[in-house]
Structure formats: structure tokens, C-alpha cells
Amino acid sequence: MKKRLLQNWAISKSWLRVLLIIILVIGVFFRFVNIDKKVYWSDEVFSSLRMSGYMHSEMNQQLSNGRLLTIEDLHKYQYPNPDKNLVDTIKGIISEDSQILPLYIVMARFWLEWFGNSIAVARLFSAFISLLTFPFIYWLCLELFESSLVGWMAIALVAVSPIHVLYAQEVRGYSLWIATILISSVVLLRAMRLKTKVSWCIYAATLSIGFYTHLFFILVAFAQGIYVITIERFRLSKTSIYYLISSLAGFITFVPWIWIIITNPQAESVSWANAKQSVFASATRWAGIFSRTFIDLGISPSDPGKLKIALIPFILITLILILYSIYFLCRRTSKEVWLFVLTLIGSVVLPLLVTDFVFQKRYTTSRYTLPSVLGIQLAVAYLFSTKLTSIYTKVWQKKLWSLVAFMVFLSGIISCTISSQAQMWWNKFPENYQPFPQIANIVSQGNKPLVISDTSIIPSIQVLGHLLDPKVRLQIVEKNQLPEITNGFTDIFLFSPSDFLKAGIEKIYNSKLQQINKLLWKVTKST
């Protein structure tokens, strides 16, 4: 009887692996489908400026002089070109974006130089990097749980996780950050198990790579330190000594960039975090952030309250699943396992929770919590693997947990399907950029259209430039200046104009302005 049960268990595990592989294939598909469809928004525009090697100040000076511009003139400051080299890229990051770590930007620049300049090619780099998540999280599960099945379950959860797919299609370093978190975690556990000098040297190298990937990797490294010290019972053991030496070596390589950040502060780049939030608003925001690990229907802060209320049951169910997974992990695994997962979850979440609730501001965004998302997915992967395959789980419990797992994967697939067809999503600030596709469509329909603006080139004009037809011409002037409009244009538009520009165009060119939407006006001759 026992032998028959074991046989059934083995067969169920085999079929489960097949289903998980199918989910993996679906997840890979979502990372590449319609990769250039969503609006190329401000964060990506800033990344592209850094890759081009041009300074923000250079671009403003060269484009805001009122001359006629083509779309290619704008793209000169969005893609690598012969006028600027890698040294210029590094200089631009140091001078204007020191808080953006350079590894991703440098790698992406090489990628574009090799494969060409376009939105799709730029985003493909992040998508391909995201594929490293699968072998790395599988390897981590082997080290942590000594179970290939947990590894496959974790792969499947990550594959159709809306938050992972979302950032796999952005020209930002989040996919690379996820990969470095996972590989450094794997190498740390291996070093603690093997206790060799080579393994600890490799760990030091992964730390160095992680430090140059994302600033918050420092918090992950600190959490790993807490884990090692706790497991070693706060003793100065051989493992503790090797860890301290490796961490110091990895940190020393990052000291030059710390000095760069200190001497080139970019306070204005985090000004969005100054928005005040009540405790209730912060709690609601955190609940939404964690729920996006498994379900994301694209609801943004600017959407109607009814949509947000409709999501409450799904968010509550997701939070209950997360909490129970952590509880189950702590009850069923050794200290070496559950403590690692908890420190990974808490690495970024705890500092951000404190700052959000103490200072009542919105320092937290979904992309900052990615290390914690990985920890949550590890806990859920262990829960599902155990509940679905254990010979000690009753039949009705297996059916129940099969349904729960099915709903989690279905939620992810539905979320990714909806997202893949959308041009705008919550992470791209739809309250700011929702009108841009419509504006580009209206302008591009003209025979010989001209767009005049005195707004900021970065990000507004560059975001619009990625949507406009190549036939469109632009004129950008400084504030309180008027352009010299040449003849030959059939349709003239003002994009996000100041009151000075609107009044000047009407007066000097004897024109009337027809407002199309909150950002676009059409210039017509007065009769």
C-alpha cells in the first residue's frame, strides 16, 4: 500500500513538472510579445539619454534654439552614436544621474551598438536578462530547499508574475538587479556549505556586481550579513571571518562610486517622494504593491475609486496567501531555510515601511520591493510544492491547494495577457502620459505637420518623439521666447505651451488657437 502511494506521488510530481514547464513557456512568451507597444515613458527616456553619452544640458542647448527639428534630431540623444563614446556615457551618469548605477547602462549601450537603435531592441536587452531569473532561482531552491520541484514551482511563479514581466520590458536595470540578487544568494549559500576560499571570492565578486546594479542592493547585502551572523550564532567562526572579508572586499570596489554619489548629489531626482500620505493611504499602497506579485489588472492611483474597491477581495486573498506561506515555511523548515527567506523579504521592505509610516511619505514603489517579491515567491513555491505532492496531505487538501495554485497561475496569466495588449500601464504614470498616444496620432495624421513647444525636452518632448511619425517637424524654444514659423506646413500644433507662447502665437501670427486636449492646441489663421 505504501509503495503504491509513493508511485502515485512520483507520477503526480512528473505531471506537475510538465504543467510548470508549460507555464514557463507562457511566461517567456509574455516577456517578448508586443514589447514595443507600451509608451516609452520618462524613466526609459532618461536611461536612453545616458546611453547616448550626451548631457542633459548639452541636449537642451542644442535643441531649444528654435530651429526646425526632425525626429532623428531627437533620437540623436536617445541612442548611441559616433559623436559620443563610453567615456561620455560614464561622465553623464556621474554628473547628472549619480544615483543610477552604471552597469546596466553600459551593458545596454553595447547591446544597442551591436543590434541597432529602436525601442524594441532596447527593451529586448532587459527581456533577455530577465531569462536569467529562471536558472538562478532554480539553483537557489536547490541550495535552500534541496528540492528540484520547489525550484520548478518558483520558476513558474516568476514566469507569469505580473511584476516580473512588467519590468522585464523596461529599459531600466531591474531585471539585472533581480538576477544579481539571486546569483549572490546562491553563491552565499554555496560558500557557507563548501567553506572554500574560492567560493567566498566568487561571493565577493557577485557583491561587487550587485553594488553597481542598484543602490538598494546595499540593503540586500546587509540582510545577507544578518543571516550569516545569526546562523553562526554571533560567533567569530571561520564562516563569519570569510564572510566579513568577502563583504569588505566587495564593498571596497563600490567605495569610488559612493564618493561620486556624495560629491554629485541628485536630490531633485527623488522629489516625487515628498508627497505626503496618511497612514491609511500608505497601508493601502503597500497592500496593492504586494498583491501585484500575483495579480495586476492595471489599476493606477488616478483610476476611479470603484475600480479600486473592486480589487479589495483579490488583494485580501493575496495577502492571506502570502502570510500563510511565510507561516508555513517557518513551521516546516529549518532555521537555515526560513531565516534566509525572511531576511530576503525584509531586506528592503522593513526600511521602506519605517520611512513610509514614520515620515508619512511615499518613498516606496513596486520596483523597490523586488527583493521582497522574490522572497515571497520562494515561500509560496515551497507551500504549493509541499501541499500538492506530500504523501501526508489528505486528498481533499490536495484538491483545495490545487485550486488555489491554479487560481494564482491563472491570475498571473490573465494579468499578463491584459498588460500585453495595453499601450499604457499604471507604472508609466498614466495621469501624465495618457494623452500622449492620442496627441501623436492627431499630429501624425497631418500632411506636413509642425509641433511647437517651450516645454521640457526631457522627458515630455522625447516621450512624444518616440510616438510621432518621422514626417513631423518640431520647433522647441526657451521659455519666454517665440519661434519664427516658416511657410510650407499644413498643420501647426502647440504642445504643452506656456501662456506666453500661446498669447504670442495668437498676436504675432494673427492666429487662433483651438484646444484639442489639455496638452495640445491647433493653430489656425484668423479670418
- In the chain, the amino acid numbered 45 is V
Across all residues in the chain, what is the average pLDDT? 90
Say if 386 falls within a structural domain.
yes
- In the chain, the amino acid numbered 470 is P
Render pLDDT for 148-161 as a digit per residue (tens, 0 to 9): 999 999 999 999 99
Other CB atoms within 10 Å distance of the CB of residue 441: 12
Question: Bigger pLDDT: 379 or 311?
Answer: 379
Element (H, E) at 280: helix 279-291
Question: Bigger pLDDT: 527 or 41?
Answer: 41
How many structural domains does the chain have?
1
| Residue 308 binned pLDDT confidence (cut-offs 50, 70, 90) | confident
Say if 484 falls within a structural domain.
no
Element (H, E) at 520: strand 520-525
Tell me the mean pLDDT in the region 89-105: 93
Render pLDDT for 395-447 as a digit per residue (tens, 0 to 9): 888 889 999 999 999 999 999 999 999 999 988 888 889 999 999 999 999 99
| Residue 27 binned pLDDT confidence (cut-offs 50, 70, 90) | very high
Q: Would you state the pLDDT for residue 5?
A: 41
Q: Are 143 and 193 in contact (CB under 8 A)?
A: yes
Tell me the mean pLDDT in the region 50-72: 93
Q: Would you state the pLDDT for residue 3?
A: 43
Q: Which residue has the cell 548611441?
A: 80
Say if 271 falls within a structural domain.
yes
Tell me the mean pLDDT in the region 338-367: 86
Q: Is 171 helix (H, G, I), strand (E, B) or coil?
A: coil
Say if 518 falls within a structural domain.
no
Lowest mean pLDDT among 278-282, 347-351, 476-480, 482-486: 278-282
What number of H helices and E strands is found in the chain? 24, 6
Lowest mean pLDDT among 20-24, 364-368, 468-472, 478-482: 364-368
Say if 28 falls within a structural domain.
yes
Render pLDDT for 187-202 as a digit per residue (tens, 0 to 9): 999 999 999 999 999 9
Q: Would you state the pLDDT for residue 303?
A: 66
Q: Would you state the pLDDT for residue 216?
A: 95
Q: Would you state the pLDDT for residue 305?
A: 66
What pTM does this model have? 0.93
Q: Would you state the pLDDT for residue 119?
A: 95
Say if 498 falls within a structural domain.
no
Range of the domain at 167: 2-32+131-428
Q: With 50 as the cut, is the pLDDT of residue 204 above it? A: yes
Task: Tell me how far apart the alpha carbons of residues 69 and 63 are, in angstroms, rounded to a whole number.
Answer: 8
Other CB atoms within 10 Å distance of the CB of residue 328: 17
Measured CA angle at 179 (ends 262, 53), to 5 deg: 50
Tell me the mean pLDDT in the region 199-224: 97
Q: Are 279 and 356 in contact (CB under 8 A)?
A: no
Q: Are 369 and 322 in contact (CB under 8 A)?
A: no
Say if 68 falls within a structural domain.
no
Q: Are 325 and 353 in contact (CB under 8 A)?
A: no
Task: Tell me how far apart the alpha carbons of residues 98 and 258 are, in angstroms, rounded to a whole number.
Answer: 9
Say if 434 falls within a structural domain.
no
Q: Would you state the pLDDT for residue 6?
A: 41
Q: With 60 as the cut, is the pLDDT of residue 239 above it? A: yes
Q: Is 301 helix (H, G, I), strand (E, B) or coil?
A: coil
Please compute, for residue 184, the number of CA atoms within 13 A of its CA located in the half-sphere on the CB side: 30
Q: Is 480 helix (H, G, I), strand (E, B) or coil?
A: coil
Q: Is 8 helix (H, G, I), strand (E, B) or coil?
A: helix
Render pLDDT for 256-292 as a digit per residue (tens, 0 to 9): 999 999 998 875 545 555 666 777 777 788 888 889 9
Question: What distances in angstroms separate CA 232 from CA 11, 73, 330, one per listed residue?
Answer: 40, 59, 19
Cβ within 8 Å of residue 365, ≥6 positions away: 289
Q: Would you state the pLDDT for residue 1?
A: 38
